[in-house]
Structure 1
Amino acid sequence: MRLDRHGGHETPRRTRAGSARRVTGAALAAFLGAAVLAPAAPAAADSPLRDHAAQQGFEIGAALASDHLQNDSQYADLAGSEFNAATPENSMKWESTEPSRGQFDFGNADTFMDFAQQNDQKVRGHTLVWHSQLPSWVENGNFSQSELRSVMENHIDEVAGRYAGDIAYWDVANEIFMGDGSWRNSVFYDTLGPDFVADALRMTAEADPNAELWLNDYSIDGINAKSDAYYNLIQDLQSQGVPIDGIGLQAHLINGQVPGDLQQNIQRFADLGIEVAITELDVRIDMPADQSDLEQQAQDYRTVMDACGAVDGCVAVTVWGVSDQYSWVPDTFDGQGAPLLFDDNYQRKPAYDAVHEALGGSTGGEDPGDEDPGDEDPPPSSGPCDVSYSVANEWGSGFTGQITVTNDGGSALNGWDLEFDFPGGQQITNGWSADWSQSGSTVTASNTDWNGSLPAGESVSIGFNADHSGSSAEPDSFTLNGESCSVS
């Protein structure tokens, strides 16, 4: 028996019966309370990120630090109002929860959990088995195989068992491969070999039967040797019957360097029958950052959001922090910083607007605390619609295109078709936020179920990947429901 985390009463250890089935995907959402992720009432254009995410059955999360939640009211206010999911930044790591063998400290982890529950946030438990931020008694323990396995099992049982039923996803094993796809040396790998991953997954399934079990790492956002290693490992785990539900792509990115094959990488993992999430997104900039840097950063955030949104199995995007002032980046990458959605003074950056728009909101919303500007008439335009077209990324013979369509007519559109011609023989390979088709050079993008209503003065953004043979020249004319649009 153990005390529950509020100290009020004792609760028995939760074990997984042999006949119990794992609850994953849609069943997990139902178990945890479908209201959290079920489509919500339409959100106002300037609503917080979480309102638009909930409307689409999506999670927009942030890594949260317990000390800032307790000591910085602006931080806590934004953390609760903007995000419908949360990850503990450090408070559930081994050095924090079990600093001495068998002696557990859950003070900061409980503070985080209380905040998340008070704000109806889905929780990603982070992390149970990791080579870093280990107390010295684990890292330098010189354990036998059986002793280390017992140490690992006891730690997982205590931490995952304490929060059983309150965690949606556990990052069970974190950062287990090197950049070339080889196993990372750690006390776990060096003592137990590669089987430590399967062992940890099975142990977590016993301790918290209803949580999804995930692996998580950095620099696996694109298709490369490291992400290939995870792809092969997951197939191997599945063949052994080891419980594995998802893969987290951390996406600690450099400004202007989003992998061109991010969406394809997400798709191939989803095709294995698991879920995928962007789990630690930030985009670091060479400092000092100017406006063009911030605009590029916004474009990168939008590209990541759109890539995840284009794949049915991509369930969430989590940013690694709330405000630039508390980011880990400047202390780790000399001369780089400003990686998040809010600046040092909690003002929204262009990156915030990009994420907001990707989730279905408007751009250029007011900063927190600004007065309501009231209803204003849309600016006059030269036609019933306006189109902005841009190329976000280019690689080899491919590129990513982004289109924003504004309804400048006098009434709402209930369904829309955008049509244009590629001038250089480009061919759409896949797209998102619209149903895409192409006949010869003519491309048609039609609304999806969730964005068919386009009020007067409002915009919708869509995107695609395409191949070209020497030219990615931009279309020079567009029609919306058969009427010519102005091009900005």
Structure 2
Amino acid sequence: MTALVCTALGAVLLPGAAQAADPPLRDLAAAKGVYIGNAVAGGKLSGNAQYAALAGGQFNSLTPENAMKWGSVEATRGSFNWAEADQIVAFAQAHNQQVRGHTLVWHSQNPSWLTNGGFGATELRGILQQHIATEVGRYQGKIYAWDVLNELFNEDGTFRSSPWYGTLGAGFVADSLTWAHQADPAAKLYINDYNVEGLGTKSDALYNLVRSLKAQGAPIDGVGFQAHFVLGQVPSTLQANLQRFADLGVDVAVTELDVRMQTPATEAKLAQQATDYGTVVKACLAVARCKGVTGWDISDADSWVPDVFSGYGAATLYDQNYQPKPAVRAVVTALGGTVSPSNSPSPTASSSVSPSPGPTATATPTTTATSSPPGGTGCTAVYAVPNQWNTGFSGSVTVSCPTGASLSSWHLDWNFTAGQQLTQAWSGVCSQSGAHVSCANAAWNGAVGPGGSVTLGFNGTWSGGNPAPAVALS
């Protein structure tokens, strides 16, 4: 039985039509010498096939949205929970992606024991050093870059009030970088902030800090520009600002890009959003030391924006149904891909790419296979193909258990009858020998509780036909 080799398969799709696909965003970015990334949550990688397909197929860099923040990994002093962070790192490794660690030192999302501890300078310094050493050390060699320090400045350029600055003074910045470097000398170390994307008072304060750190010999490798923008408000000085930081001898990156608008979205708003996304990518490409662009949340269904900015939303590359918006077309074009102008997407349609001859897509019915594995009487496996194009498709199998039934692990078997071949799988371990496919749960999602479900996702190729197989669950 041949082990399945994970590849960077992805496509920009037009639902309901067979289309030839440009290379995925990650391949276009790699060809330009940069990365294209996104922020992810572990539960969605294992529980949402469309989310996982985009995360694994379109991007070559992942940032844990919350899983590596202090309040997530050390909610109780000295007791660490690495489950979600480990899951994201494992997913990235399986999909040949790099990981940006986010974030070690921040004024927000800290546990109450830390913020309310009343620690003196000596003890707090020891706590900070130990936390950085423990987290960075755990992922030594697995993290491309760390946002070591996040959101240091107020809008007027003064240091933000935090447990660190108030007790330790500004020296905690260089110390944090030094401790992170000691724990993983190969990782790139960044300071990350928002509202510093254009020239101005706050970005001047960050610039002066980075210049001072370089003069001190502190291990500062890069600056992250979050880029949480409002529609039509990308600073005209973005490229010049990125360049002046690069001229200090550090790398730069766009780390949390989204472009929010007042909802509902309209065709005009989505067109402006596409322009804004394209402007940011082009600015990065124009600066030699800009390493890449990371979006913040895969789709509008996952975005943090509506919960924080009342009346705003639709900020990401993909819509509520995980279909590409016009902004995807703009990013494809900025990265050197080609998009047919005749297939301009509507506000709710996905972006399409230039068509080329190929087999006509055929309907693929959903099938259900029910079995009674030990302890799991009544649990079912449902095979589905939510997206299909030319000679490729994205599929899923959802394992569900009714009330009163459960599984401690699961295994799936099926036979393709029309020569289909799997090329990539996530949220499970798959292999294919001839027509036979065998998949087992990943380390983190074997248990299916009463009334619960997990979803295996995969990509594959087909030619001539793509009938749904019957799936055996054991």
Please give the TM-score of this superposition, normalised by the length of structure 2. Answer: 0.68
Q: For residues 96-175 of structure 1, what are the structure 2 equivalents within 5 Å?
A: 96-175=72-151
Report the equivalent of 1:91: 67
Aligned to 1:336: 312
Match of 1:71 in 2: 47
Write out aligned runs for 1:438-453 (5 A): none
Per-residue Cα deviation, 1:237-295 (whole angstroms, up to 9, x for no partner): 11111110000000000000010100000000000010000000000010111100000
Check if 1:59 corresponds to 2:41.
Answer: no
Q: Are the equivalent residues in 2 in contact too, given 1:177–1:184 (CA < 8 A)?
A: yes
What percent of counterpart residues are identical? 54
State the Cα distance separating 1:322 from its structure 2 match.
0.7
* Residue 179 of structure 1: aligned partner: 155
Partner of residue 229 from structure 2, selected from 253, 274, 277: 253
Q: State the one-letter code of the partner of 1:191.
A: T
Which of 229, 232, 236 matches 2:212? 236
Could you tell me which residue of structure 1 aligns to residue 302 of structure 2? 326
Kindly provide the amino acid, as one letter, of the partner of residue 272 in structure 1: L
C-alpha contact (below 8 Å) 1:64/1:322 kept by paired residues: yes
Are 2:178 and 1:202 equivalent residues in the alignment? yes
Q: Secondary structure of the residue that 2:148 maps to in structure 1? A: strand
In 1, distance between residues paired with 2:354 and 2:44?
28
Structure 2 distance, partners of 1:260, 1:355, is 18
The CA distance in 1 between the partners of 2:353 and 2:282, in whole Å, is 31
Is the CA contact (8 Å cut-off) linking 2:298 and 2:318 kept in structure 1? yes
Measure the CA separation in 2 of the matches of 1:223 and 1:369: 33
CA contact (8 A) 2:317 2:325 kept: yes
CA distance in 2, matches of 1:103, 1:254: 39
CA shift, 1:58, in A, is 1.0
Report the count of equivalent residues: 335
Aligned residue in 1 for 2:357: 375
Q: Distance in 1 between matches of 2:77 and 2:164?
A: 16
CA distance in 1, matches of 2:287, 2:352: 36
Any idea what SS the aligned residue of 2:281 has? Answer: helix
Between the aligned partners of 2:183 and 2:302, the Cα distance in structure 1 is: 33
Decide whether the 8 Å contact of 2:188 with 2:222 is kept in 1. yes
Query: What's the offset of the Cα at 1:369?
Result: 12
- Give the secondary structure class of the aligned counterpart of 2:240: helix
Which residue type is aligned with residue 50 of structure 1? Answer: R
Note if contact 1:45-1:360 (Cα within 8 Å) is conserved in structure 2.
Answer: no
TM-score, with structure 1 as normaliser = 0.67
Following TM superposition, where does structure 1 have runs of at least 4 consecutive aligned residues deviating by more than 2 angstroms? 363-376
Contact 1:176 1:184 in 2 (8 A): yes
Deviation at 1:226, TM superposition (A): 0.8
Query: SS of the counterpart of 1:131?
Result: coil
CA contact (8 A) 1:123 1:169 kept: yes
Q: Is the 8 A contact 1:49 1:82 kept in 2?
A: yes
Question: Does 46-55 or 269-278 show the bigger shift?
Answer: 46-55
Q: What is residue 4 of structure 1 aligned with on the other side?
A: none
SS at match of 2:96: coil
Amino acid in structure 2 at the alignment position of 1:85:
S
1:113-165 alpha-carbon deviations (Å, 9 max, x no partner): 00111111111100000000000011111111110011011111111000001
Find 1:310's aligned residue among 260, 278, 286.
286
Any unmatched runs of 5+ in structure 2?
1-7, 9-19, 359-474
What is the CA distance between 1:374 and its match in structure 2?
3.0
Cα RMSD of the aligned pairs, angstroms, is 2.0
Q: In the alignment, does 2:254 pair up with 1:272?
A: no
Larger RCO (alpha carbons 8 Å, 6+ apart): 2
Q: 1:296-334 CA deviation, whole Å, 9 max, x = no partner?
A: 000000111111111101110000011101100000000
CA deviation string 1:403-454 (max 9, x = no partner): xxxxxxxxxxxxxxxxxxxxxxxxxxxxxxxxxxxxxxxxxxxxxxxxxxxx
1:440-472 deviation per Cα after TM superposition (whole angstroms, max 9, x unaligned): xxxxxxxxxxxxxxxxxxxxxxxxxxxxxxxxx
| Contact in 2 for aligned 1:45/1:361 (Cα 8 Å) | no
Is the partner of 1:325 in helix, strand or coil? coil
Matching residue within 31, 46, 70 for 2:22: 46
Q: CA separation in 1, counterparts of 2:23 and 2:350?
A: 11
- CA distance in 1 between partners of 2:221 and 2:21 (Å): 34
For the 8 Å contact 2:329–2:352, the answer to whether it is kept is: no
Rounded to whole Å, the distance in 1 between the matches of 2:338 and 2:306 is 31
